[in-house]
Amino acid sequence: EDQVTQSPEALRLQEGESSSLNCSYTVSGLRGLFWYRQDPGKGPEFLFTLYSAGEEKEKERLKATLTKKESFLHITAPKPEDSATYLCAVQARYGGSQGNLIFGKGTKLSVKP
Amino acid sequence: DSGVTQTPKHLITATGQRVTLRCSPRSGDLSVYWYQQSLDQGLQFLIQYYNGEERAKGNILERFSAQQFPDLHSELNLSSLELGDSALYFCASSVTGQGEQFFGPGTRLTVL
């Protein structure tokens, strides 16, 4: 069964304290792995797509990496405005769930000034 | 702003009632997806349409149905509502039936 597990569930950082969020996945052929940011009561905001092991993508203070079993979202020198829930999702290449995204439960990040 | 619009933003109704949620995809996107987000379950895929045709079904209850119209907007119909149906309902769209999806702002449904 395709599934995504994110850890930790919650993460509290001081402003400027770098850290990483983990996303472990099991999928019947990975078509793509996606990172989203979600603010309370809002829709998920697309951040990155990763397609193959070894791929990296960067945007401002965020950097996403991918291996064959997991992905990391590295946050460098975070600011309070980076506080949000970060969601990881996979899209399968095979099986009946092609096309739709399978989401993890997210990591709630809080950055204190 | 993702370019995906959803109406209404909030909906409060009673058990046993029926409601319709509406979604307009980004310009040029052919595929529409519906997701349900509750506190304990996270984001759960319900159903996908591509250019008017149903493409995939997830954990969608028989009381729920959807369609995509010729102008590509989509509606999600929820009937015989129960307290447990209270959740955020998101619509997403993509150019094709694969790849990244862009989410709307959601409809918050409260069933009393």
- How many whole angstroms separate alpha carbon A25 and alpha carbon B29? 28
- Tokens of residue A39, six digits: 């603010």
Q: What's the mean pLDDT in B22-46?
A: 93
* Residue B112 confidence (pLDDT): 96
| Residue indicated by tokens 């697309």 | A46
* Residue B40 confidence (pLDDT): 76
Evaluate if residue B97 carries a pLDDT over 80. Answer: no
φ/ψ (deg, to 5) at B84: -70, -10
Closest partner residue to A99 among B44, B55, B103, by Cβ? Answer: B55
Closest partner residue to A34 among B42, B44, B100, by Cβ? Answer: B100
> Is beta strand A3-7 parallel, antiparallel or unpaired with respect to A19-26?
antiparallel
Query: Could you report the average pLDDT of every consecutive run of 10 residues in chain A (113 residues)?
Result: 94 98 93 96 96 95 96 98 97 74 96 97
Structure confidence by residue, pLDDT tens digits, B69-83:
999 999 999 999 999
Q: Which residues pair with B13 in a beta bridge?
A: B111
Q: How far is A40 from chain B (nearest CA, A)?
A: 11
A107, closest residue in chain B (CA to CA): B42
* Residue B41 confidence (pLDDT): 80
Q: What's the mean pLDDT in B23-30?
A: 96
- Tokens of residue A13, six digits: 């950082």
* Residue A92 confidence (pLDDT): 87
What share of chain B has pLDDT > 90, as a percent? Answer: 90
* Arithmetic mean of pLDDT over chain B: 95
Residues of B in contact with A91 (CB under 8 A): 98-99
The letter for the amino acid at A78 is: P
Max Cα-Cα span within chain A:
46
Residues of A in contact with B4 (CB under 8 A): 43
Total number of residues shown for chain A: 113
* Residue A98 confidence (pLDDT): 65
